[in-house]
Structure formats: C-alpha cells, structure tokens
Chain A
Amino acid sequence: MNLRIGVVGAGGFGRAIAQASARHGHEVVVWSRKDRELLDPIQTSTDIRSIRDCELIFMAVPARHAIEAAEQLGEVVDGRHLMVHISRGLIGPELRTITKVIAEKTVCRRLGALAGPLVADALAEGRPSGAILGTGFPELTEMVRDALGGSELRVYDTPDVVGVELASATVGFLTVVLAYAEEVGVGPSTLAVLATRGMVEVSRIGQTLGAEESTFMGLAGLGDLIAAVAGDERPEIRLGRALAKGATLSNAVGEAGAYIEGIEVAAQMMEHARRLGLETPISSTFVALSQGRISSDDAIHALMERRVGRE
C-alpha cells in the first residue's frame, strides 16, 4: 500500500526514516524547526500542519525535546493517526516513557516505540538490519513494516511497549559503562559479567514499571547492546572512553559529539530504585564514577566485593 508518512525531526534518524520510506515508494514529508533541504521526492516543512494529512507519523527527536514536539503535534493530530517514536530516553525521576508523554499531550492513541539494533546509516542506505516495535496495535506493525521493511529491515513486534522503551533507554547507559570498562583495561570475562548483570539490574527496575523481563533479553535490550559494543560507533562509546581517560563529564560529553541520554537515565533510575528499596550497584557505582567521586579501581573493587548470589 502507498502511505503518506510524516517524520517529525530532521536529525540522523529522521532523515534515515524519510529516505527508507521514500525508497519504498511512500509519500514523505519531514517537519523540522529549521529549514532543511532533503533529497527529492522527500518534502520538507517548518509548518506542523503539513503533518495533518499523514496516516503514519514517526517522531524522531531526542527525549529532551519530546514534550515540546508532542505539544506541537497535539495541535494537528486526531484519532485517525498512528504514531511511532524513536527516542532512547525517559523523562523525569518517575521515568516517564515517551509514549506516555505523547498520550498526555496529544489524542493519538495508536502508538508504538521503535528500538533495537537499528542504526541510522544502515536504515538510510538500505543495508540489512533489524528492529523491534513495541505496540499493542497490530495494524501499526503492518504499517511500519510497509513503510520501512521490505527485504532490508526485519521489524519484530511485541505488545510490551514500556519494556521496549525502558530497555532502549537503559542500553545507552550500559554502553557507556562497557566502553569505560574496556578503556580502563577490564578483560572480556568482566565485561561479560558487567553486561549481563547490568541488564538484569535495569530489567529488575523495568519490571517495577510494568515491563517484562524477556523484553530486556531480546532485541530492545541485549540485541541493541551487542550492536553497540560490536562497533557501530555510537556516541555512548566515545563518552565512556573519554571518561575513562580522565575527562570531566562535561568535557567527555563534548568529546562524544552528541547529546547522550544514558547518564540522565542512570541517575533517574537510581532515584526510582531508592524509593522502592531496590539495589542498583552498577548504576550507582557508575554515577559516582562519572561525577568523579570514586576512582575506577574503587569502582571495580566495590563491585567485586559484593555478596554473590544465585543468578
């Protein structure tokens, strides 16, 4: 079927989605705050009303702009629209997910979250890749497969929307942790322990927010983490390495060259876990490390000294 697709945000992912959709023969309009010029036949606009006639909308903005973008979309969308976001962050200490924000600010209800080992370049160029779509609406899955899929992208789906969003947000933070550890010389065995126990830690918190454990162990969680450490050159890797070399957090963020939501997510998770009386050894140690309160040796020592239990 031929769809009219709207993309909100003209960053790396926004442009990649527009290119992939146009390549599959769909009509695409990209909205951004600044004037942009994209390859023909992709239309661009700075007027949010240009999105109104689209059936499927992709919201591709960082989490910190999600509220503003959702408020603007709220002025033009209605019950007919289907919407997917690709943000990797969470909002506020209560770990509000982006779909919750969209549901609060707009009347759009057929929502989904696209995540997993999806990389903008691969999507734009049509290289084989995979992703996971969290949505309760099978018709939305069908539309996203039509828009982006084909033989190049395998889009799996799950009804565990909150799980996909939480897993996706926490993978960013775990990627920074692993890059840091690798840079300070931690061996493969310790890296594996950090990765798996880190995933268990975030999934435990995720479950308190209604997520399913299995989602963290699938494409949205472990799958995405494997892609990150296998070398798809994410900014989180650069951030972790810079921190390990002794850079301050602000300098390391500058060196990474992109806004990284993982650090904020770790602090928000710690606050949430503290309220519930849950232990978050890896997140807490990493936050202390990134703030320069402890050294890397202290961090490893503190984690290794902890009581060992059943997996």
Chain B
Amino acid sequence: MLKRFLSERPLRLPHLKPYVPRPSDPSIFWFNSERDDVISDVVNRICAAHETDRARLEMALNDAAFHEIRRLEKQRDQEARDRLGYWRSMIRRIGKMDDTEQRRVLHTIVTNMARDIAGNFDPRVYRFARLAAPRLIGGVMEPRRFTEGLMAGSPASLDRVLRVQGDLDHLRNLQNRGSLVFVPTHSSNLDSIVLSQALETSGLPPVIYGAGKNLFTNPIISFFMHNLGAYRVDRRIQVSLYKRVLKLYSQVMIERGYHSLFFPGGTRSRSGMIDRHLKLGLLGSAVGAFTANRVRRVDRPVWFVPTTINYALVLEAETLVKDWLTEEGQARYIIEDDEFSRIDRWFAFFRKMVGMRGGCIIRFGEPIDPFGNAVDTEGQSLTPTGRSIDAGGYVEHRGKAVVDAARDAAYTRELGEVLAQRFQKETLLMSTQVVAHVLFRDFVQSTPGMDLFARMRLRGEIGVDSETLCRELGEARERLLALERQGRVRTSEVVKEDSPEELLERALSFWNGYHDSTAATRQGDRIVIGDPSLLLYYQNRLVPFAPDIASPEQLKAACEIELLGGHQ
C-alpha cells in the first residue's frame, strides 16, 4: 500500500517560502515555476494535433483504452481496481461521443499522463544531495572512516574510485549557450547516481532524466529522484498516446533549455557489450527540439555529449549475463530482483571498488550537434576540416526552416549510428575486461567446435598456464595500444601502465569475493575458469576489437568471438 502510495505520489517537502532562483543558478532551478506551463504546453500540442482529424482522435482514444484495459486486467492490483472501470466504461462510449466530448476526454487523459510524467525540483533537496551523497557513498565504501568522511569534503575514497575524463572546459562553455543532452552507455542502475556525481564534481549542470517508475517504489530513491528533476517513465504502459506525451515532454524541456540525460541503449546492457542498437524515441525528441526552436527563430541549440560509464566491476553482472543467456532475457525488460535491490551487495561492491584505484571512469566525449558534427567552444558546428557552418541549414527546405517529421526521423536514425560509433571510440577498456577477453579467447581456442551454451557449462574444467596467459595479455595490450594510437579505442591508465602480471592479479582480485561465483581463480601455476558466463560478460566489451588484437594463431577464435556481436 505504502509502496503504491509512494510510486503514485512521491514525497515533497513543504514550501514555507518560495525559492526565487538567482541568475547564476542552473536552468533546472527554474523548473518548478515553469512546471504547469510545461504540462499545458505538452497537453495543448497533443490535443491540437488531434483537433481536426476525428478518425485519428478516435483511434488514439481506442488505443489508450484497449492497452490500458489489457494491462490492468493482467496487473490485478489496487490500480486495476481503481481504474479498470473507467477505461471499460470509456471504450463502450467512444463511438457515441460527439467531437467535443472526445476532445474533452483526450484532454483529460493527456493531462493525467503529463502530470504523472512531470518531475519536480527542490533546490533544498539538491543542496542536501550535493553535500551528503559523496559522503554517504564514501561511508559505504569505508565504514571505518564514516565519521571522518562526514566532516570532510569529498571523501578521498570516492575520488579514488570515480574518475572523470574529457574536455570539461568545452562542456562548461556550452552549458549556458544551449541545451546539453548527455547520452551515456548503460551497464548498471548505479549509472545515474555516479553520473550525477560526476557532473557535480566536474562543474557541469544538473540534468533532467527519465527514470523507470519501478525505481520510485523505494521511498528514499523515490524522494531524491522525484525532487531532483527526474521524470517518471512507466514502461508497462503500451499506449501510443503515452509514448507521444513522454517524448513531447522531453522535447519541450529541451526546447526550454533544460539539460537532459537519456540512456539511448534503453536498458542496461545485458551482455556487457558496448551499446550498439540504440533506441531512437527520446533522441528524436532532442532533434525535434532543435527544429522547433529554429522554426520559431529561438537561438537555443541542442548538443549531444556521448558519455561512457566504465566499470572494472559491475554490480549486477551476474543477473544481467544470466538474463542475456536465457530466453527469458528477451522478454524481461525490467528486472526488479537484482543486486541493485540488495543493500548487502552494495556494501560488498563498494568495499571491493575502494580497494582498487580507478574502478569507475566516466568519460565525456566531444559534444556533437544533432547531425553528428563536432562543435567549437562557441557551439558553432564544424565541418571535418574545421569550417564553421550554420546547423540551422539542416532543417531548411528551399531556404526556410520547416518542421518535417520524416526528415527529422531520418536525422535521428543517423544520429543513433553516429552515437554507436562514438560509444565504441570513447569506451575505456578496463583491466578486468582485457584479462577476461584474453582468457576467454584461450577458452574458445581450447574448445573448438563447441557452441556458446555448451561452453557455459564447463565450470572449473578449463585452465591456462599463468605464464602463457601473461605473455598473451602483454601482446594483446600492445595491440590495443596500437589501436588507441589510431584513435579506434581507449584503455584505462591501469591497462596502459600495469605489467601483465599486475593486470592479471588485479582482475582476479576484483572478481574474487564480490560475485557469488568467480570468473577465474589461480590454482598453483594455472588460472582456472570458474564461471564462464561471468568471464563472457566482462570480455564482451572487447567483441568489436577481437580480430584486431589477435595473433594469426588466435584469429579463428577471435573471429568466433567477434560473431557474438552479431552483424550490423
């Protein structure tokens, strides 16, 4: 009951005195004063699009009622008891309603949807989170220094674990000139937390982002998310109208200059591979925001910041890879019972991370315009040879800026491809991933003709001589560094600097003691593969580069690994 109450009505602090934002405050500080205006803008645009076309309006209402009835009949919970009657009665009446009645019903439905989606921003909660979050995370990491951490600024343990890379000055320059849309890779539910922390420590603005409604069931997370600008996305709702409201909400926010964050992979990478097939819905809303501003002659550009979140150890690795390997994984979009929901795993995870330097690295890539072009420090779009161009030309037809949904959809598809390529270039390969790849390649080579699932059953049976593994590790690292010099890949400092022996020990140390099963262990002079699925998960980050870092003898196994990524 409480869970439902919180997910329906997240807690807000009472307002004794309204907060008046200062000019220097980030754009999100103005959100609460604009919230109602944003909602009515979204509602008006959706209703206007259905105003003159009765068939379209009727289709939208029927679609909403049909999908909601189907969802609620399956849910059989309190929400179903409250709402099912409304939708059943409505679907019977749609055909008999006159135009005015249909428009009124549409207005009500869309308003409810927009209100449910829209977030809230409380500067007090923001300030508290800014101060407390690093200390609390630091405390979880090093309980013995918890009190010391509370008194100090950013705890040393957090700085040791979380590193930020990228041209931060460039991004800071752009933040007041237009809307920044951060588009990160997605591996863990911790991503939005560590990314918020990285933005904060880098002097970058807070962002709005869509969070699954399932995350709002935890009262503490719900309180913070709701009061820090997150908008709620209910992935259970299949209604077309809901998706349009969601995208339009995002578009209107970007049009108005709110910096945003999307995970274009849609969900956490189950396989551990770099996100490649990106979901275009919310990306399209940012492209639409660029066009809408240009058509209205508002000079507020939109830039995308491809961002990679790189972990040496992934909190939910076991559940994710299991999900990928089972057919069930195809259907399970929302996982609610993984390591993220277990506080003991959080403690174990952070303790393991703090013992290792640079366990999480966030890399902000160079910003690009919605058409994939680099931009200079002023935000001007650049050609490959550095000539400045006006990005507004992309939305012009015969000299005039126009809205063209088909054109913008094509731009969005191309942007998705550019971002997928940028993810590959900006991903930092971590020690555990490189060690896992070399070991997995040996595993494939020593089990020729065996399929992936048969290999996954070989627990504790296959081992490699430690000296051989270190030699191969050294060779693979040299080839990776050569690729890095060509600008095709990036490696972490640890991968660059540590000896192969140190890399191996570091990876074994990361795996052992955190995961329930271990990817590999040392048994005398041999490294024995424990849980091949975990090894597979960590090595999958290197799938696109496998043939490039293999010797001629290893090439066959490497090509087999490359095929795990599927075709284009």
Contact = CB atoms under 8 A, between A and B. Distances in A.
Nearest to A278: B567
Contacts of A208: 567-568
Interface in B392-451: 392-394, 396-399, 404, 406-407, 409-411, 413-414
Nearest to B399: A80
A136 B411 CA distance: 8
A277 interface: yes
Judged by DSSP, the binding face of A is loop
Contacts of B383: 74-75, 78, 106-107
B355 interface: no
A80 B396 contact: yes
User: Which of A80, A104, A137, A209 has the most B CB atoms < 10 Å from its CB?
Assistant: A80
Contacts of B385: 74-75
A139 B397 CA distance: 8
A137 B396 CA distance: 13
A307 to B, nearest CB: 19
B393 A79 contact: yes
A139 to B, nearest CB: 6
B512 to A, nearest CB: 35
A205 to B, nearest CB: 10
A202 to B, nearest CB: 15
Given A74-B385, A209-B568, A277-B563, A79 B407 contact: no
A210 interface: yes
A79 B563 contact: no
B406 A138 contact: yes
Contacts of B404: 139
Nearest to A205: B567
Contacts of A64: none
A83 to B, nearest CB: 13
Contacts of A135: 410
A212 B393 CA distance: 31
A277 B381 CA distance: 41
A15 interface: no
B410 A107 contact: no
B391 interface: yes
Contact of A136 (B371, B414, B547, B567): B414
B372 interface: yes
A109 B384 contact: no
Interface of B: 371-373, 381, 383-385, 387, 389-394, 396-399, 404, 406-407, 409-411, 413-414, 547, 559-560, 562-563, 567-568
Interface of A: 1, 55, 74-75, 78-80, 103-107, 109-110, 135-139, 159, 207-210, 275-277
Sort A-B residue pairs by CB-CB distance and give the 9 closest, nearest first.
A136-B410, A79-B393, A79-B394, A80-B393, A208-B567, A210-B568, A78-B389, A138-B406, A107-B383
19 contacts: A55-B398, A74-B385, A78-B383, A78-B390, A79-B392, A106-B383, A106-B384, A107-B389, A109-B414, A136-B409, A138-B406, A138-B407, A139-B397, A139-B404, A139-B406, A207-B567, A209-B568, A210-B567, A277-B560
